Amino acid sequence: MQPDQIIALRRRFHAHAEPGFLEYRTASVILAELAERGVRATTGADAIDVGRIALPPTQAEKDEWGRRAVEAGAAPDDVAYFQEHGTAVIAELDGNRDGPTWGLRVDIDALPVDEETDAGHAPVAGGFRSTTPFMHACGHDGHAAIGLALADRLRDRDFPGRVRIMFQPAEEGVRGAQPMIDAGVTRGVDRMLAVHLGGDLPTGTVVGGVTDAMATTKWTARFEGEAAHAAAAPEKGRHALAAAAQATLAILGLTRFAAADTRVNVGTFHADGSANIIPALATITYETRSTSNEVLEDLNRRAEAAVQGAAQMYGVTAATKVYGRAAVSQPDEALLTDVARAADGVPAISTFTPKGASGGGSDDAHLLIRDVQEAGGLGTYIFVGAANPAPHHHRRFDIDEDALVIAVDLLERLFRG
C-alpha cells in the first residue's frame, strides 16, 4: 500500500470518530478492506468475549451509533453483527516459511472531544474533521490505518511465521484488551507488539520500548443505604451520600509509596434524594495508577478499605467493581535488538532510542504484552513520533501523516525478518 492510500484511510477513520465498543463504522471499514484484499479476518467470540465487558454500552448508545454508522455508509448487516458480537477484528496472515507468531495491537476508538473548527487545524483544512461528537484525539485513526496497510503489504506471504493484527476497541478507559485476552487472542503468540503515534516526539523519532507506562485500575463503588425523613426520623435513615463523600476524601488521601509513583483520582459522584430525604443511593467512579504492578495492587487494597470503612461508618453497604484495567510491562532486550535492526533500514527514522519514556500514560496493550511474556514470549510497546501540535486528548491534537508511513515501514521490516 502506497503512502497516499495509507493517509486516505487514516482520514476516512478520522472523519467518523466513534466511542469505545461502538466503533461500528470503523470496524466495518476494516472488515471490508481486509475482505477486498483476501485477508482472513477473525471477529465475534474468537476476537472478544463481550460477556466480559464491564460497563458495556447501553442499548440507546448502540442504537445511536448504529444509526450514525449506517448513515456514514456502513452495511446495516455489518452494524447489526458488531452490535451483537463486539467490534474487535483480527487480521490473520500466514507467511510462506516457518517462524514466530507475531501479535500487533492497534486500537481504533476515539474520545469525547469536540474537534477544533479553526482552519489552522489540518483536518479542517483537509476536509476530514470529525463529523461526530467524538474525535480521534489520540491517533487511533492512524493506528487503524497502519494495521490495514500492514495487512495489505504482507499479503504476498513473503515473511516467516504468522502475523496477527489485533484491531482493539475501547483502549481509552483501558477496557478493550482484557475481554480480547479472555477470548484467547494471545494464545500462540510468541512476540507481542503495540504501536502508538505521537507522544510529543518529532517525526523521525522512534522509541523501541516504552518503560514508564503506568498500571491502572478503573473502579465504580455503589453505596446503598436507606431513605428516611430528614427531620422526622433522620436516625432511621442510612446516609449513602455521606458514606460516598467520606470514601472520596479517604481515596484522595491515600498514602504515597516510596518504591513507585502513584496517582489516584475520584472522577464522578452521583447521589439521589432531595434536601428533606436521607439519600439511599450514591455512586462514585475512581482510578488508581502506579508505575509498579505490585504497588497498584496494594493501592487498590487500600482504596477498597477506604470504601468499606466509609460504608461501615454510616451503616450502608458498598459494592465495588472494576471496569477497566491496564498493567505495566517492560520491553524484552532480544526484541529491542530486532526493532533496532528494522529501524536501521528505514531512512526516515533519524533518531532511534531503544528504551524511553512516553509521558507516563496507561495503555491496556501492556496487558496483552504481559500475557505473552508470562507465557514465555517477548513483547514491547513502540512509540513513533508524529510531531503532534497539541497534547494527546486535546481538541487540536493531530499527527504528521508522514509518521504513518514510518510506522508501516518499520513494522513491515520487523515482520519480514
* Minimum separation from the CB atom of position 139 to Zn ion (A): 6
Q: Report the residue number, 138 or 154, with the smaller CB distance to Zn ion.
A: 138
Distance CA 275, CA 279 (A): 9
* Minimum separation from the CB atom of position 140 to Zn ion (A): 6
* Interface segment toward Zn ion; rule CB under 5 A; list 132-140, 257-265, 302-310, 342-350: 132-140
Distance CA 115, CA 356 (A): 30
Q: Which three cell numbers, joined as nine digits, stand for 17?
A: 470518530
Residue 299 and residue 264 in contact, taking contact as beta carbons nearer than 8 Å: yes
Q: Report the residue number, 122 or 138, with the smaller CB distance to Zn ion.
A: 138
Using CA atoms in the order 325, 68, 39, 377, what is the torsion angle rounded to 10 degrees? Answer: 0
Q: Which three cell numbers, joined as nine digits, stand for 47?
A: 476476537
Reported as half-sphere exposure (CB side, CA atoms, 13 A), residue 302 has a value of 20
Which among 379, 385, 380 is positioned nearest to 405, based on CA atoms?
385
Range list of H helices, 218-325 = 240-252, 293-313
Any idea what DSSP says for residue 209? E
Distance CA 112, CA 116 (A): 13
Residue pointed to by grid coordinates 486516505: 8
213: contact with Zn ion by CB under 5 A: no
* Interface segment toward Zn ion; rule CB under 5 A; list 80-88, 137-145, 209-217, 226-234: 137-145
Q: Report the residue number, 108 or 303, with the smaller CB distance to Zn ion.
A: 108
* Minimum separation from the CB atom of position 59 to Zn ion (A): 26
Q: Which of residues 228-287 bind Zn ion (CB under 5 A)?
A: none
* Minimum separation from the CB atom of position 381 to Zn ion (A): 11
* Minimum separation from the CB atom of position 105 to Zn ion (A): 11
* Interface segment toward Zn ion; rule CB under 5 A; list 130-138, 254-262, 267-275, 406-414: 130-138
* Minimum separation from the CB atom of position 25 to Zn ion (A): 19
Q: Report the residue number, 137 or 183, with the smaller CB distance to Zn ion.
A: 137
- Residue 290: its H or E element: strand 281-290
Q: Which three cell numbers, joined as nine digits, stand for 324?
A: 477497566
* Minimum separation from the CB atom of position 390 to Zn ion (A): 13
Q: Which residue is nearest to Zn ion (CB)?
A: 138
Which among 18, 140, 27, 29 is positioned nearest to 88, based on CA atoms?
27
Number of other residues whose CB lies within 10 A of the CB of residue 122: 18
Distance CA 168, CA 87 (A): 8
Count residues binding Zn ion (CB under 5 A): 1
* Minimum separation from the CB atom of position 196 to Zn ion (A): 6
* Minimum separation from the CB atom of position 245 to Zn ion (A): 30
**Strand 215-224, strand 281-290: pairing:** antiparallel
Q: Report the residue number, 161 or 361, with the smaller CB distance to Zn ion.
A: 361
Q: What angle do CA 118, 123, 129 make, to 5 degrees?
A: 85
Distance CA 402, CA 417 (A): 23
Q: Report the residue number, 93 or 138, with the smaller CB distance to Zn ion.
A: 138
Which among 413, 411, 417 is positioned nearest to 103, based on CA atoms?
411
Q: Report the residue number, 136 or 370, with the smaller CB distance to Zn ion.
A: 136
* Interface segment toward Zn ion; rule CB under 5 A; list 70-78, 136-144, 203-211, 407-415: 136-144
* Minimum separation from the CB atom of position 138 to Zn ion (A): 3
Q: Report the residue number, 302 or 393, with the smaller CB distance to Zn ion.
A: 393
Q: Report the residue number, 139 or 273, with the smaller CB distance to Zn ion.
A: 139
Q: Which of residues 138-197 bind Zn ion (CB under 5 A)?
A: 138
Q: Report the residue number, 144 or 310, with the smaller CB distance to Zn ion.
A: 144
Which residues of this chain interact with Zn ion, rule CB under 5 A?
Answer: 138
